[in-house]
Amino acid sequence: MNAPTDCVAPAASSLARLIEQHAPALEAAVIAWRRDLHEHPELGNREFRTAGIVAEHLRSLGFDEVRTGVAHTGVVGLLVGGRPGPVVALRADMDALPVTEFNELPFRSRARTQWNGEEVGVMHACGHDCHVAILMGVASLLAGLREHLAGSVKFIFQPAEEMPPEGEDGGAKMMIAEGALENPRPGAIFGLHVTSLQNTGRVGWRSGPVMASSDYFRIDVQGRQTHGAAPWLGVDPIVTSAQIVLGLQTIVSRTQEITKEPAVVTVGVIKGGVRENIIPDAVQMRGTIRSFDEGMRDDIHERVTTLAESIARGNRAGCRVCVQKNYPVTVNDPALTAAMLPTLARVAGAGLEQIDKVTGAEDFSFFQREVPGLFVFLGVTPPGQDARTAAPNHSPLFQADEAGLLLGVRVLAHLACDWLESPRS
C-alpha cells in the first residue's frame, strides 16, 4: 500500500534545502562507519568500542553535551540549535546478535565472545551497524547546520535492544530510568530500522500499532520416570507436553478476536528425555507470545498459564509456568504520524509505502510510552532482487545494501528539523 493520495508533500523550507544540499557529501563516511562497525560487532551491554566511537564523534562535532555510560554503554548527545525552540530526539540501537556470519565480505565479522555461558559468533545480523552509522551521519549533518536549527536535537545511541545478557538490566527501559529523556525532555522521538523486506529506496510507515509486544514463557512439566514399555507405571511428561503444545495453538485461534488484532503463540524449544525406551521425569518448553493490543496480551498470558496447568493436572503431572513481559507494543503516535507523513512523502517520494503490521518487536516502544514517537522502516534489499527471497534480518546471510543508507540520513534529519519548525498549538 502506498501513502494516501491526499498526503501532499510540503514545499521544502530553507533548512530542508540545506539538508538536501549537504547530505550527499556524507555518504562515503556513513558507509565507512557502517563497515567498521560491522567488522567489529559487540553484544548487548558490551558495546564499549562502538560507544567510544560514537562519543568521540559527537565531541568532535562540538556537541553541547555528551553523556556516556547510560544503561551501561549508552551514549546521549545534545545539539543545541542557533535559535530557541523545542527538543526532539533521534535514536539508534548499537548491539549485535550472537550469530556467526556466513557472508563473504571484506569487512565480514569474525568476532567471537561469550554470551550467557556459551561461546558464540557475533554479527550485526539485524542492521544496527547501519542505524549507528546513519545517526552518526545525521549528527554530522545537523551539527554543520546548527545555526539554522530552531531548537535542540537529542541523539540517543542505545545498547541492548536485542535484550541484555541473562541476569542484567539494559536497553531502552534502563536508559529511560537513567534519565536519557530528561534535561531536556524531548517533545517527540523518531527512529528507523533497516529491513530486508523492502527494496532500497523504500520507506515503510504505519500509524498506531506497528510492531508486536514480545513476551517469553517457560513451561516445566514434571512427570514420573518409568520404562518406555510400561508407561502405566509412571507419568509421561512428553505426552503431556505434546497436548500442551497443541492446546496453546487454540488460544489465538479460538479465544482471541483476531479481526481486531493478530497474535502469535509459538513454542520454540522443547527438551526432554535421553533415550528412546525411557519415559523421562521432566520436559521443559520455552516460547514467545506476540500481540498488538495490551488487553489481548494480558488475556493470552493468563490463558497460557491456565491451559498448561489444567492439561498437566488432567494427566496427573506437575506443571510450573513462567510468563515474562519483555517489550510492549510499538505504537506510532497517530497525531505525530499524520503530521510527519508529508515529510516522509517529500523525502521518499514514490518510495513511501504503508506497510502491514510486523510481528517482530522493538524496545523503541518504551520511548514511545514516554513521549510521542514515530518508527519507520528503511529498505536495504538491492533493487531488482525480490525482497521476499532476501536473507531476512537475524539471518547469518543478512546483507544491507549500503546504497540505501543515505536515504536513512535524510529521513531522520528531515523528520527532526520539520518537527522542530512545525507550528505549536
Q: What is the pLDDT of residues 53-94, one digit of tens each?
A: 999 999 999 999 999 999 999 999 999 999 999 999 999 999
Give pLDDT, residue 6. Answer: 52
| The domain boundary residue, chosen from 327, 342, 370 | 327
Q: Do 190 and 237 fall into the same domain?
A: no
**Residue 7, in any domain of the structure:** no
Structural domain for 281, as ranges: 213-327
Q: Do 99 and 122 fall into the same domain?
A: yes
**Residue 384, in any domain of the structure:** yes
Q: Do 201 and 225 fall into the same domain?
A: no
pLDDT at position 2 over 80: no
Average pLDDT, rounded, for the chain: 96
Give pLDDT, residue 425. Answer: 56
CA distance 425 to 86: 13
> What percentage of the chain exceeds 90 in pLDDT?
96
For range 368-395, the mean pLDDT? 97
Residue 185: count of CB within 10 angstroms of its CB: 13
**Residue 2, in any domain of the structure:** no
Of all helices (H) and strands (E), which one includes residue 359?
Answer: none
Q: Do 284 and 340 fall into the same domain?
A: no
Q: What is the DSSP string of 252-274?
A: HHHHS-TTT--EEEEEEEEE--S
| The domain boundary residue, chosen from 308, 327, 346 | 327
User: Which pairs count as long-range contacts for 49-54, CB under 8 Å and 24+ apart, including other chains?
Assistant: 50/94, 50/132, 50/157, 51/75, 51/94, 51/157, 51/159, 54/94, 54/132, 54/136, 54/157
**Nearest Cα to 192, choosing from 149, 132, 125, 124?**
132
Q: What is the DSSP letter of 234?
A: S
CA distance 3 to 350: 9
CA distance 59 to 141: 14
pLDDT at position 406 over 80: yes
Torsion angle, alpha carbons of 58, 61, 64, 65, to 10: 10
Overall domain count for the chain: 2
Name the amino acid, one letter, at 156. Answer: I
For range 155-178, the mean pLDDT? 97
Residue 273: count of CB within 10 angstroms of its CB: 15
> What percentage of the chain exceeds 70 in pLDDT?
97
Active site residue 147: no
**Residue 72, in any domain of the structure:** yes
Active site residue 370: no
For range 36-48, the mean pLDDT? 98
pLDDT at position 11 over 90: no
Q: Do 278 and 373 fall into the same domain?
A: no
**Which cell numbers in the block locate residue 291?**
500481540
**Residue 4, in any domain of the structure:** no
Residue 316: count of CB within 10 angstroms of its CB: 11
| The domain boundary residue, chosen from 327, 348, 372 | 327
Q: Do 346 and 369 fall into the same domain?
A: yes
Q: Do 239 and 277 fall into the same domain?
A: yes
pLDDT at position 151 over 70: yes
Q: Which of 47, 362, 402, 421 is catalytic?
A: 402
Using pLDDT thresholds of 50, 70 and 90, give the confidence band for residue 1: very low
For range 266-290, the mean pLDDT? 97
Q: Do 130 and 254 fall into the same domain?
A: no
Domain containing residue 257: CATH number: 3.30.70.360
**Nearest Cα to 26, choosing from 114, 140, 194?**
140
Q: Do 103 and 221 fall into the same domain?
A: no
Going through 39-145 in order, the beta strands assigned E by DSSP cover 65-70, 74-80, 83-93, 112-115, 118-121
Q: Which of 42, 162, 327, 362 is catalytic?
A: 327
Instruction: Report the sign of the C-alpha dihedral through residues 278, 283, 287, 293, in that order.
Output: positive
Q: Do 313 and 383 fall into the same domain?
A: no
- pLDDT tens, position by position, 293-325: 999 999 999 999 999 999 999 999 999 999 999
Residue 327, phi then psi, degrees to nearest 5? -110, 135
The strand pairing partners of 97, in sequence order, are 123
For range 140-152, the mean pLDDT? 97
Give pLDDT, residue 5. Answer: 46
Give pLDDT, residue 13. Answer: 85
Give pLDDT, residue 267. Answer: 98
Q: Do 230 and 286 fall into the same domain?
A: yes
**Residue 197, in any domain of the structure:** yes
**Residue 60, in any domain of the structure:** yes
Is the bond leading into 392 cis (omega within 30 degrees of zero)?
no
Q: Do 183 and 164 fall into the same domain?
A: yes
Q: What is the DSSP string of 160-220?
A: -TT-PPTT---HHHHHHHTTTT-SSPPSEEEEEEEEEEEETT-EEE-SEEEE-EEEEEEEE
**Residue 121, in any domain of the structure:** yes
pLDDT at position 7 over 70: no
Name the amino acid, one letter, at 290. Answer: R
